[in-house]
A and B are shown apart, each in its own frame.
Chain A
Amino acid sequence: MIKSAFAVYIQGIKTAIASRMAYRTDYFIGITVMLIWEMVVPMVVFLIYRSGVAFPNWNIYEVLLIQGIFMIAKGISYPCFFGIVWNTIVRVQEGTFDLLLIKPRSALFMALVTGFDAEDLGKLLGGGVLTGICLANLPPANLAQWLNMFIYFILGQGVMFSFAVIMAGTGIKWVGNFRLYEIFDSVTAFGIYPQSIFAKPIRIIISYIIPIAMIGAFPASILLGKPVPQLGWVSLGVAGFLTLSLFYWRRMLASYTSAGG
């Protein structure tokens, strides 16, 4: 079952890349655009620090490391599974979402397979470069820190997946609304800065309830040797968020009326 699902997914990736390569120039322009867009926030941080001010107890490379890891997280999740959002919104609007429902796999899985977005690999590239530059200018982390960071990072991918499922589910009811991405961008903005700058109630929400901090802030903090909440508690938060998102998707799918097109 898992093997065949993986095979289907790989086929989806191959098809997506092949169709995107039909317009190579546009594809590479798209990757460049992604890269430039993702560099806006690091540029703002650079200009703030250049003015001689700083976030208390955080140097510029430490802050940029959060943003670099956040970009890597997006660079993995956007191509691999975040495509379910636009895929669902477009298909519901056009009426082609029905085609996913008649296939012998779950609608969520089919939305995932047909939603691979090769253009978003630009985020991975940008995140990798930014993280590399920061790590080269920071004291090296030990193996235990890297392993711990990896666990938090994987959980952060769970948070990204949950967000994608919630947004795709919303796209079933809220037809044609691509502004859902703006909500995601605004909420996740809390996760690209040091958590210490936020008020305590916000820190609790973004650590345990909508665990945005798992995407970039906590993994970076681990590498920097800064304190992070215990794995057990944040894991519970991620598991709860994921369960809620899947429940929400089912509810939205059940209310789908097939009225698009």
Chain B
Amino acid sequence: MKSSAVATYKEWSAYRSHMLLSLVVGPVFFLVQSSIWKAVFQGRELVNGLSLEQMLTYFAAATLIYYLIMDFADWNLQMLIRTGKFITFIIRPMSHWFFAFSQKVGHRVLGLFFEFLPVYLMFLFLFKIPLIPVYPLWFLLSISLSFIMMFQINYCVGIIGFWLVQAEGIRRVFLIFRDILAGAFLPLSFFPELFQKILFFLPFQFISYVPLRVFMGNYELAGFEMSIPSIVGIQALAVLAMTGITTLLWKLGIKRFTGVGV
């Protein structure tokens, strides 16, 4: 893992200026969010159980968490299958899953230095958002699980490439829904009650919503309130289940690979 991660780190270091764009994009989006919620909260203490301070913390933390967990395993795997380059991974002494995961580790370590840390400091000093998790160790565990969960879900989307030659459209649709259902655009507590109940049983909340609520120190969705250890435990079980689904899909998909794009 170390060699693949270091190689990816070095490869992407050549494009670190691209990553630095996050220093503009993240804070500018946050400035818009901040204006929206300040206007919405005029004359109100709470909206859907969240105070203005909690809401701003939610969006600032969501931005930062994304820098820690994002990946493009879906795009990468589909591209490798479509072009036939995937054939080179079959003859390697390690699984592609593990290689792609190692790549993600290297890429996100770079993101930690060039995206997460600078934007964290901007939020802290420019916007005065106190971004310190209520339970640091539980948050660390939760974010590690969401790191794996994001990868597993994206990898499953990539596996679709074994069935469809041109799966770009489906990939993009899925990513939009993934971000909506993960609570990246709005806390899931804003969704209708029935929808929240469905979301509770889907894996998407474990990507962003759960680590965000762990960061804030309380969890609530669809009327279910849970202690932080309980929801992190459920998150760990969900990651295990997702690993099973990924393995199953992989076994079915790899049978269809013919290397025709080579």
User: Residues on A close to B: CB < 8 A?
Assistant: 23, 25-26, 29-30, 32-33, 36-37, 40, 43-44, 47-48, 50-51, 53-56, 174, 176-177, 179-180, 182-183, 185-187, 189-190, 193-194, 196-199, 202
CA distance A40 to B29 in the complex (A): 15
Cβ–Cβ contact B21 & A183, under 8 A: yes
Q: Is the CB of A48 within 8 A of B29?
A: no
| Contact between chains at B39 and A197 (CB < 8 Å) | yes
Residues of B within 8 A of A (CB): 15, 17-18, 21, 24-25, 28-29, 31-32, 35-36, 38-42, 44, 47-48, 166, 168-170, 172-173, 176-177, 180, 185-186, 190-192
Bound-state Cα–Cα, A179 to B25, Å: 9
- CB atoms of B18 and A179 under 8 A apart: yes
Which of A53, A56, A187, A199 has its CB near the most chain B CB atoms (within 10 A)?
A53
Query: Which of chain A's residues have a CB closer than 8 A to the CB of B176?
Result: 33, 36-37, 40
Residues of chain B within 8 A (CB-CB) of A32 are 169, 173
Of A36, A53, A189, A197, the contact of B28 (CB 8 Å cutoff)? A189
Tell me if A29 and B170 are in contact (CB < 8 A). yes
Minimum CB–CB distance for A210 against chain B, Å:
11
Report Cα–Cα, A37/B25, bound state, in Å. 18
CA distance A29 to B166 in the complex (A): 11
Q: Is the CB of B35 within 8 A of A198?
A: yes
Instruction: Say yes or no: B35 contacts A44, CB within 8 Å.
Output: no
Q: Residues of A contacting B41 with CB < 8 Å?
A: 53
Q: Please, which residue of chain B has its CB at the minimum distance from the CB of A174?
A: B17
Pairwise interchain contact B25-A26, C-beta atoms closer than 8 A: no
- Find chain A residues with CB under 8 A from B48 CB: 51
Whether B32 contacts A183 by the Cβ 8 Å rule is no
With a cutoff of 8 Å between Cβ atoms, the chain A residues found around residue B40 in the complex are 48, 53-55
Would you call B35 and A177 a contact (CB within 8 A)?
no
Chain B nearest Cβ from A148, distance in angstroms? 26
Query: How far does the alpha carbon of A55 sit from the alpha carbon of B44 in the complex, in Å?
Result: 12
A186 and B24 in contact (CB under 8 A), knowing A29-B169, A48-B186, A48-B190? yes
Residue of A nearest to B41 (CB): A53
List the A side residues contacting B168 at CB < 8 Å.
Answer: 26, 30
Given contacts A53-B47, A189-B32, contact A183 B39 (CB under 8 A): no
Give the docked Cα–Cα distance between A186 and B24 (Å). 8
Among B15, B44, B170, point to the contact of A53 (Cβ < 8 A): B44
Residues from chain A with a CB closer than 8 A to the CB of B169 are 26, 29-30, 32-33
Write 10 A-B pairs (CB below 8 A) sorted by A numbering.
A26-B166, A26-B168, A30-B168, A43-B180, A44-B186, A53-B47, A55-B39, A189-B32, A193-B32, A196-B39
Q: Top 4 A-B pairs ranked by shortest CB distance?
A: A29-B169, A197-B39, A186-B28, A189-B32
User: In the complex, given contacts A29-B169, A47-B186, A186-B24, what are 11 additional A-B residue pairs having Cβ atoms less than 8 angstroms apart?
Assistant: A33-B173, A40-B176, A43-B180, A48-B190, A50-B190, A50-B192, A51-B47, A174-B17, A177-B17, A186-B25, A193-B36
Q: Which residue of B lies closest to A34 (CB)?
A: B172
CA distance A204 to B236 in the complex (A): 49
> Which residues of A have CB within 8 Å of B173?
29, 32-33, 36
Shortest C-beta distance, B45 to chain A (Å), equals: 12
Q: Tell me the complex Cα distance, A180–B15, Å.
A: 13
| Nearest B residue to A48, CB-CB | B40
